[in-house]
Amino acid sequence: MYESGGTPTFNSPDISTVDLWPLRPIDNLTATVRNLSADASANQTRVDLSWTAWGIGMPLQSIGSTFVDLARAGFAGSELTLSWPLPPALKAAARYGIFVNLLHPYDRDTTNNQGEQTLDGFQTSQGRSKSFVVPVQNPLSSTQTFTLTAGPVPVVPWVTVVPAAFTLGPAAQQNVMVSINVPAAIPPSPPGTLISATVDVLAIMGSAYLGGVSIVILFDA
């Protein structure tokens, strides 16, 4: 999405990997996939599910693949929700990234075939300031420079990223501290609110998009 000029998200609404609140691993990972083409069905679409350790640029590890038949958009069967048991390694890790990738040989638009949820968060009832360690790894075999930014614009004044720029050798890793301070003037959200705000931390490697994480916040006090 970033490379096509859009705003990236690391908390896809079509993927469920954790329960809120408190934020904790979910027993069954789910992903909703859909065919957006009104012209043709998408039979034998391959759905690949992978995971990484919490962080940015971490190595992808496969969970598994599933083949699905999707009807044309607007018809029954054009959308399916798939489920996978949470692997024990992810439950033990507690924080992780989940990546979904769709592959179909006759797909005319491959820009919408990937989804991600790499998520952590906190509730203001447990304090309005919290820091998160976000590991960033160089996935390449050559030295690279990295730049990290936070968004969207309304939350930028609340966030400090240290260090925000650095250089890493091949496969090297840097722990980045992301500190968030929700101003006291921000009131609690109405009852029933699940997420009040999201801080997205985006990493650029050289001039190319690398990835990011989302930190969700509930203003409950």
> In Å, how far are 98, 100, 144 from 15, measured between CA atoms?
8, 8, 31
Task: Please give the model's pTM, rounded to 2 decimal places.
Answer: 0.92
Tell me which residue of 80, 87, 7 sits closest to 42, measured CA to CA: 80
Q: State how far the Cα of 53 lies from the Cα of 182, in Å rounded to an integer.
A: 27
Task: Report the DSSP pairing between strands 96-103 and 42-53.
Answer: antiparallel
Is residue 20 within 8 Å of 121, Cβ to Cβ? yes
> Tokens in use for 79?
């959308």
Domain 15-218: state its class: mainly beta
pLDDT tens, N- to C-terminus, the chain (221 residues): 444 445 677 999 999 999 999 999 999 999 999 999 999 999 999 999 999 999 999 999 999 999 999 999 999 999 999 999 999 999 999 999 999 999 998 888 888 899 999 999 999 999 999 999 999 999 999 999 999 999 999 999 999 999 999 999 999 999 999 999 999 999 999 999 999 999 999 999 999 999 999 999 999 99
Q: What is the pLDDT of residue 112?
A: 84
> Tokens in use for 74?
């607007």
> Tokens in use for 118?
């790499």
Q: What is the pLDDT of residue 7?
A: 65
Task: Report the DSSP pairing between strands 79-85 and 96-103.
Answer: unpaired
Which residues fall within 8 angstroms of residue 181, CB to CB, at 6 or more apart?
128, 129, 158, 160
Q: What is the pLDDT of residue 146?
A: 98
What ranges make up the beta strands (E) of the chain? 15-19, 24-34, 42-53, 61-70, 79-85, 96-103, 114-123, 129-137, 144-151, 159-162, 165-168, 173-181, 197-205, 208-218
